[in-house]
Amino acid sequence: MKPIVQISLDLTNIEEALETAAMAMRAGVDWLEAGTPLILAEGLHGVRKLREAFPDTPIVADLKTMDGGYLEAEMMAKAGATHVVVMARAHEETIKCVVQAGKDHGVKVMGDNLGCPDMVAGAKFLEDLGCDFIVHHIGYDERRGIAAKGKRMPSPLDQLREVVNAVSIPVQAVGGLSLEQAISTPTYGAPLVVLGAPLTIDADAFKTADGNLEASLKKICDAVHAHGDVGISK
């Protein structure tokens, strides 16, 4: 499949999210993500506003669903989301419910392996239960907690090839990647490239050192799209 650039709108008000989304779309971003902070702050209203503003753009609702799977996925689908996220650490029945809601309401399900003792097995578990995509994810708190102990901060690149080789569905890598690392993920066989606050100079805002975020995003999108088709392992 062709590489896809997804921007995570990890913002806390819809006005700023809409402005950032418009800029990202001009720069060549393919998918918009209603990040968890935006969903917590704005809920279904935020997703609806994104859908109104961008009627033809895929929208990922990063719900991180752990329970009540069918209802959460259904609500976001009706609000305009095209993709929803369920956690591998949720109960198997919850994952099945999200997958069923996806089938019933025409949305794709992204399974997130954050926190799995075995990240590769977690990804395979999600695929076996019917998820359409894998989010290979090293969490913010995990990375910083380990680094605070003086140990090497873990990266999703550590096991990305193993995850890609274990599943037959598209994979994206998330969690503290540098700009160069994010752009490189298609070379690992992971075609979905996520851009968010960890790629900027300020962990709480979308900024770049030169202040020209749109130009920087365009360069990123051009570099990712230049990879050409990324083969899925199986």
- In the chain, where are the structural domains located? 4-225
| 116-127 residue pLDDT tens | 999 999 999 999
| 172-226 residue pLDDT tens | 999 988 888 989 999 999 999 998 754 454 445 555 545 578 888 899 899 999 9
Poorest-pLDDT segment among 56-60, 127-131, 133-137, 228-232: 228-232
DSSP string, 205-219: S---TTS-HHHHHHH
Instruction: Check residue 209 and give its pLDDT.
Output: 45
| 218-227 residue pLDDT tens | 998 999 999 9
Spatial distance between the Cα atoms of 65 and 72, rounded to a whole number of angstroms: 7
The SS3 call for residue 169 is coil
Instruction: Check residue 198 and give its pLDDT.
Output: 40
Spatial distance between the Cα atoms of 33 and 59, rounded to a whole number of angstroms: 6
Q: What is the pTM of this model?
A: 0.93
Spatial distance between the Cα atoms of 130 and 122, rounded to a whole number of angstroms: 13
Q: Determine the average pLDDT of the residues in 21-28.
A: 95
Instruction: Check residue 6 and give its pLDDT.
Output: 96
Distance, first Cα to last Cα, the chain: 13
| Position 232 pLDDT exceeds 90 | no
| 60-118 residue pLDDT tens | 999 999 999 999 999 999 999 999 999 999 999 999 999 999 999 999 999 999 999 99
**H or E segment to which residue 107 belongs:** none
| Position 165 pLDDT exceeds 70 | yes
Q: Where are the beta strands (DSSP E) in the chain?
A: 4-9, 31-34, 59-65, 83-87, 108-112, 133-137, 171-174, 192-195
Identify which has the larger pLDDT, 228 or 115. 115
Pick the CATH number of 4-225 from 3.30.420.270, 3.20.20.70, 3.40.50.970, 3.30.70.1400: 3.20.20.70
